[in-house]
Amino acid sequence: MIHVRQLIKRFGPKIVLNKMAFDVSQGEFVALIGPNGAGKTTFLRILSSLAKPSIGEVNVAGFHLPGQAASVRQRLGVVSHMPLLYGDLTASENLLFYGRMYDVADLTHRVQEVLQLVGLLHRSGDLVRTFSRGMQQRLAIGRAILHNPDVLLLDEPHTGLDQDACDMLDGVLRDVAVSGRTVVMTSHDFVRAQNLASRFDVLSRGRIVASIPANKLSPDGLQAFYRESLEQA
Ligand SMILES: Nc1ncnc2c1ncn2[C@@H]1O[C@H](COP(=O)(O)OP(=O)(O)OP(=O)(O)O)[C@@H](O)[C@H]1O
Ligand SMILES: [Mg+2]
């Protein structure tokens, strides 16, 4: 579902992704972990078609990037730190807008369903600029899943959410995973990541330095695996 080879991303003279390789099969849930500045957000931005690779092969859901960005976007849901919402529209108007862009069937019903799912039905008629940060993040999650995308990309999605919203998000992500969709999520929250992911990849200095399936990890083993991976890298 995701296939990356020899990916290089430079900002001026600085090489941020260094001949990176990365593969995800359909139905996998990959938690991408790594220190600050490792290149996780940069990499997700490239997969989301929000940034262009300097060089390299990037294929998402059967389409290559950056050339086929429009086709990739149809099949993607993205939760990032820029919520990609319109402040002067209400919550439901935001979802209706995106739903029309993605040709979502039975849109009015789907918008209500998603607002209910993310716990914002009671605020559906309020302007998004009057929302708290966590409420905006909830709506961003709703926007990302609205069109039932094949691939969901999430950059530290738990950051800024209260405990209820974190549990809501984990529930949404479990449903997404159960329905055979593909998820790549960056996180510094190892406990939540370990409860969700089917595989853990460690990104350090612009490349994947270690990878382990969830069933090979002891219940509290992610921290140890992470430390060892960074020491050996
Ligand atoms: N637009 C940019 N221009 C220049 N350098 C950039 C730009 N975006 C990112 N970088 C650099 O790329 C490197 C990787 O940043 P990135 O945000 O991808 O890290 P990250 O793994 O997401 O870190 P964190 O865990 O802190 O979120 C950093 O050194 C950062 O300064
Ligand atoms: Mg980041």
Write down the pLDDT at residue 5: 98
pLDDT band at 51 (very low <50, low <70, confident <90, very high): very high
Please indicate, yes or no, if residue 137 is contained in any of the structural domains. Answer: no
Q: Are strands 14-24 and 29-33 parallel, antiparallel or unpaired?
A: unpaired
Would you say residue 191 lies in a domain?
Answer: yes
Residue 160 pLDDT: 85
Answer yes or no: is the C-beta of 40 below 6 A from any ligand 1 atom.
yes
Ligand nearest to the CA of 80: 2
Residue 83 has pLDDT above 80, yes or no: no
CA 109-111-114 angle, 5° bins? 110
Three-state SS at 37: coil
Residue 220 in any domain: the answer is: yes
Which tops the pLDDT comparison, 81 or 122? 122
Confirm if 64 and 102 have CB atoms less than 8 A apart.
no
Q: Are 78 and 48 in contact (CB under 8 A)?
A: yes
Nearest residue (CA) to ligand 1, atom 9: 42
CB neighbour list of residue 105: distance below 8 Å, 6 or more residues apart: none
CATH code of the domain covering residue 217: 3.40.50.300
Residue 73: pLDDT above 90?
A: yes
Mean pLDDT, the chain, integer:
95
Quick: pLDDT tens for 177-202: 888 999 999 999 999 999 999 999 99
Tell whether 99 is covered by a domain: no
Confidence bin at 233 (pLDDT 50/70/90): confident
Expressed as residue numbers, the domain containing 187 is: 1-75+153-162+181-233
- pLDDT exceeds 90 at position 219: no
On whether residue 186 sits in a domain, the answer given is: yes
41 in ligand 1 pocket by Cβ < 6 Å?
Answer: yes
Copy the structure tokens of residue 123: 């605020």
**Tokens representing residue 225 in the block:** 């695996």
Ligand 2 centroid – CA 40 distance (Å): 5
Residue 103 confidence (pLDDT) above 90: yes
Is 16 part of any domain?
yes
Residue nearest to atom 5 of ligand 1 (CA): 11
- Rounded to 10°, the helix 91-101/133-145 angle is 30
Give domain status of residue 142, yes or no. no
Please give the Cα distance from 155 to 9 (Å, whole number). Answer: 18
Please indicate, yes or no, if residue 12 is contained in any of the structural domains: yes
Number of domains in the chain: 1
Instruction: Tell me the per-residue pLDDT of 146-171, one tens digit each, with 9 for 90 and over.
Output: 999 999 999 999 998 999 999 999 99
Question: Is the distance from CB of 193 to CB of 200 less than 8 angstroms?
Answer: yes
Q: Shortest CA distance to 89 belongs to which of 130, 143, 122?
A: 130
